[in-house]
Structure formats: C-alpha cells, structure tokens
Amino acid sequence: MADNALQILRLSARLAVAAGIIAIMLAPCLGQEGPKPDPAGLATGDKTNVVDAGGNAFVVAEPTDKAAPDYAQKKKDFDEFQAQAAKEPLAVKLADATGHVRVATNFAWTLNTGYLVLFMQAGFALLTCGLVRKKNAGHLMMLNFAAYVFAFIAYYAVGYAFQFGAMAVNAAPGNLGGTPTLNHFLLGNGLWGFLGGKGFFMAGPAYDAGSNVLALFEVVFMETAGYIIVGSICERISFWSFLLCELFIGAILYPVFGCWVWGGGWMSQLGTTMGLGHGYVDFAGSTVVHAVGGFCAMALSVILGPRLGKYGPDGKPRAFPAHNLVYVVIGTFVLLFGWMGFNPGSTLGATDLRISVIAINTNLAAISGSATAMLFWYWKFGKPDVTMACNGMLAGLVAITAPCAFVGPTSAFIIGVLAGLVVCLGVLFNDNVTKIDDPCGAISVHGFCGVLGSICLGLFADGTYGAGWNGVGAASYLGQTGRGVSGLFYGDTKQFLVQVMGAAICAGWAFGATFIVFKVVNGVKSMRVSNEVELEGLDVPEFGMQGYPEDAISVTAS
C-alpha cells in the first residue's frame, strides 16, 4: 500500500513538473497584448506591404526617435505623406489592395516551391533505396516513409516554435506579411536569441495565414535534413532507434541551428553585434539543412559502426554494389527538380526577381558537379561510376544552396566543380581512411559539401544582391549604395571569416549533439539490429515483408 501511494505521489509530482514546463512554454502565447494572429488571412497584406523594387515602402512611417539628426526631415516627409493620403483616399485604398495582392503572390510562390521540396522526399527514397542491397529495399522505403511522419510530428509540436518563434524580432519575412505574432525568444533576447518561444503545436500565435506559409515551407526543409541520415545509417539500424533519431532532428537538432541562422537568432545578427559582414548568411541551407543532416549522419554512423562485411579482416573496404541504378538516377533527377523549389523558393516571394538567377545558378552547379565527378572517376578508375555521377550532381546542388542568391553564373559553375571534387575525395576518404561506413555517400554529399557551400558564399558573393541583409548596410555597404552580401574575392574579409566560423559551429553542433545523445541511447540499448538480422536482410525481421516479394517462392494455400 505504502509503495503504491509513494509511486502515485512520484507520478503526480512528475506530471506536475511536466505541466509546469508546458505552462511556462505556453505562457507567452496566452493573455498577452500585442499583434493578433490572422487565421483567415484577411488582414495579412495591406498598404504597408507595398514597396518598390528597391524595397522602399509606399507608406511613410512616423519617426519615433526625436534625438535622431534627420528627425526634422523624416517628420516633414511623414506630414507630407499624411496630407497627400488625406487628399487621395482612393490611392490609399488601392495601395491596400496592391499590398494584399503582393503578399498573395508570395504566398502562392512559397507554397508551390514548398510542394516541390516536399517531392524531394520521393527522390531521396528512390536514391537511397537504389543504392543499397536488394534484401534491405523494403526497410529503406519504410525508413524514408516514417521519417516524414515522425519528424513532422516533432516539428509540429515544438520544432517550429523553437526555430521561428521569434521570427518577427529580427527576421520578419516582409514578403509573407511579417508574421508579427512570432515575437518571443524562449532563450536569449534581442540580438542574442538562442531559441524561439512562440507557436508550439502551430497553435495560438502560429495559427495565422502568414505563419502557416512559413511552416509549410520550413517543415519540408527540416524533412530534408531528416532524410539525409537514412543514406548513412541504413542496412543496420533498428526501426525504433531510427524513430528516436527523427524525433530528435525534428524537435531539437534542426530547429536550434535553424533559429540561430534563419529565425533571427544570434548567428544571423553577428553583423550588427560584432561587425562581421552581414552576419552568418546561408541563403537556402547548405549548412542549416544539409550539413546539419550530414554531420548528424556522420555521428550516427560512427556510433553504429560499419555494416557486417564492409571491411575485410585486412581492413580493406569491400563493395556492396547498388541494386537498382534506375532508382538512383530517377531519384537524383527528382531531387534536382525539387531543388528548383528549395533554392528559388527561399526568397519566400516571387516579387523578389532574383529567383531566376537563383534557378540558373542552381542548375549550373548541378551540372558542373556531376561533370566533375564523372570525369574524375573516368580519369582515376577508367570508368565513370553512375552512382558517383549522381552524387556529384547532388554535391553541386548542396554547395550552391547557401550562395545561390549571392553569386554570378561563373562562380556557380566553379562552386559545382569544387563540390564535385570534394564529394569524390570525401567518399574515398571515408571508405579508406576514416572507415566510416556511409552506404549512399550522405556524409560527403551533404556534410562536406554543405560546409563547402557556406565557405564559398564567403568567397564568391559578388555584392549584387542582399543589400540590408540581416539588418546590415541597408543604406550603403563598404562605401557603396545598394551593395549587398560580399565575399573575400569582392573585398569583404569579415564575411569570409564569419562563414568559416559558422560552418564550423554547424558541424560541431550537429555532430556533437547527435553523438552525445545517441551514444547514451546506444549504451542503454544497442541501436543496431542483431547480426543474424543484418545478414538475412532487414525487411522480414523488422517489418514481416520483403521489398520484392516475388523473389521468394511463396507457398500459400488458396
């Protein structure tokens, strides 16, 4: 009796603590004054969203800082605007409609590019499944499928809030109406934010038309990071531990770094706080998405160890050839197609006409990466390898993802060539030197080339785009009006420094956090399937059915 009572007491105490934590998290969403969410989208997009091509607003805002030297001029402009607006109410009404249409255009663009990114999950599934042995095909497909489901649940519950809960503080997406209700850091504040704190369960302040566009677009990015790990840990990881990995990525690993760079967090503000260029810049996620996934995959692969038989008794690697090159190539093309959403969509708006440059840059890096990998293999081993040609294309895509908006076509092509070399050397390096077993080359493609992409931004950014990025240099930068994000080759050493530093932080965070958490998990219960299961193939032991059931002679009574 006494034992039971004690247990009930303990349980109640734990529940109370959990309820308290949830209450603290939800507190900022409840009963607070401030901007209201707009679930119907009726109030999202008005005259304040009307800007010219240079981003100058139609509405002249009232100056608040009376001590500012240009206060008198600004006050005069404001008064003139007010007088004109009073004389022409129809113009103001039209501006409201124009602002709404502008935001609607950007909604359509961002949602549709998000759907393209969603389709990349099909590409990953085909690619990784084709690259493994036939006996594990069903298991691979289930991993790819469950990744979408479980990582989404984690991101829905807490991930989105952690990443974008303070979006409006430093990084309000004007193209989508600004998401003014996402305005609170759970950890840190102002320019030193570490974790967003609004929008848990995508409810309350996140139950808003603008916020939901952002949520749709960003959840599929998170899913991309979630899928990357499959390529490294497949053919030996048990299903239950894979689900833990996905929950971890969707709830913590991805959102935390994402908040630092994209959610208005501390790394994005390093330009303002420490004078480091435009702060850490990653346009579409070479590091935020790909290197996070790649280095998480590396840590998991180290913990799991290589597949049985991957290394002979002499330590030499053995080949486990891909079982379906058709899947590999189609999967790669599906990924290329999806990347046309991934990179151009990251403007969060079609009214940003840089989208065409981004689309061409993305393709250029893809083809030069693939050409480099094909020719490198041709030269080194006598035959171009289909799977490496595909890895080369993905390497180029990963590397151009951070700099795609900030570089010209020549630089994009060169970045692809560099990525093609890095992925070839990376695969050989992992196979022969580090002996980290990476069946699909995910560590080289996404980890190494993700870091390369971020550094390339710091080298090749040409200053033609991104004036005022992260709140730096809106009026002029490096003495030039309209100068945007610039790299080392265009005179901004500090941007290069912050890119190198940021990429290192990314790799350290993704590898370190994953390694610590899953070293513990693996210590409690091995994350690997048993040797017998691995030798038989994971399909039947884990899911009771084969990827290709006609391969087995079935004897069933009809």
Partner 1 sequence: MKKIEAIIQPHKLDEVKEALIGIGVEGITISEVRGHGRQKGHTEMYRGTEYTVDFLPKVKLEIFVPDARAEQVVESLTAAARSGKIGDGKIFISTIEEAVRIRNGDRGEGAL
- Interaction of residue 375 with partner 1, rule CB under 8 A: no
Of 31 and 321, the one with the shorter C-beta distance to partner 1 is: 321
Q: List the one residue out of 157, 180, 368 whose CA is nearest residue 255.
A: 157
Write the DSSP symbol of residue 40. T
Closest to partner 1 by CB, 240 vs 381, is: 381
Q: Which is nearer to partner 1, 322 or 419 (CB)?
A: 322
Name residues whose C-beta falls within 8 Å of residue 224's C-beta, 6 or more positions apart in sequence.
117, 120, 121, 124, 285, 289, 290, 293, 342
Q: How far is the CB of 231 from partner 1 (least distance, A)?
A: 13
Between 312 and 544, name the residue whose CB sits nearer to partner 1.
Answer: 312
Q: What is the dihedral of CA 325, 326, 328, 334, to 10 degrees?
A: 170
Question: Segment 44-63, which members bind partner 1 (CB under 8 A)?
Answer: none
What residues from 318 to 337 belong to the interface with partner 1 (CB under 8 A)? 318-322
Q: Is 433 in the site for partner 1 (CB under 8 A)?
A: no
279 to 29, 466, 485, 494, 544: CA distances (angstroms): 29, 12, 10, 9, 51
Using CB under 8 A as the binding rule, whether residue 383 contacts partner 1 is answered as: yes
Phi, psi for residue 486 in degrees, rounded to 5: -125, 145
Sequence-distant (6+) residues with CB within 8 A of 390 are: 127, 328, 329, 331, 332, 370
Q: Are 451 and 305 in contact (CB under 8 A)?
A: no
Give least dist CB 392 to partner 1, A: 12
3-state SS, residue 384: coil
Q: Nearest approach, Cβ of 420 to partner 1 (angstroms)?
A: 15
Q: Which is nearer to partner 1, 58 or 320 (CB)?
A: 320
Q: Choose between 121 and 444: whose C-beta lies nearer to partner 1.
A: 444
Site for partner 1 in 294-323 (CB under 8 A): 317-322
36 near partner 1, rule: CB under 8 A: no
CB of 186 to partner 1, least distance (A): 44
Question: Minimal CA–CA distance to 52: which of 102, 125, 115, 2?
Answer: 102
CB atoms within 10 A of CB 357: 19
Of the residues 89, 313, 382, 544, which one makes contact with partner 1 according to CB under 8 A: 382
**In this chain, which stretch among 101-109, 133-141, 168-176, 423-431 interacts with partner 1, using CB under 8 A?**
423-431
184-192, 294-302, 347-355, 379-387 -> range binding partner 1 (CB under 8 A): 379-387
Nearest to 247 by CA among 122, 147, 120: 147
Q: What angle do CA 220, 117, 136 make, to 5 degrees?
A: 80
Distance CA 480, CA 94 (A): 34
Q: To the nearest whole angstrom, how small is the minimum distance from the Cβ of residue 316 to partner 1?
A: 8
- Count the site residues for partner 1 by CB under 8 A: 19
Residue-wise DSSP of 420-478 = HHHHHHHHHHIIIII----TT-HIIIIIIHHHHHHHHHHHH-BSSS-TTGGGS-SSEET
Residue 388 binding partner 1, by CB under 8 A: yes
- Residue 370 touches partner 1, criterion: CB under 8 A: no
* Shortest Å distance, C-beta 551 to partner 1: 13
Min separation Cβ 294 and partner 1, Å:
17
CB of 236 to partner 1, least distance (A): 18
Kindly tell me which of 235 and 431 has the beta carbon lying closer to partner 1.
Answer: 431
Alpha-carbon distances, residue 285 vs 192, 224, 281 (angstroms): 21, 10, 9
Residues 173 to 232 in contact with partner 1, rule: CB under 8 A: none
Paired with 51 in beta bridges are: 57
Least Å distance, CB 132 to partner 1, is 12
Place of tokens 């009376």: 66
| 431 lies in the site for partner 1, by CB under 8 A | yes
427 touching partner 1, by CB under 8 A:
yes
Contacts with partner 1, residue ranges (CB under 8 A): 317-322, 377, 380-383, 385, 387-388, 427-428, 431-432, 441
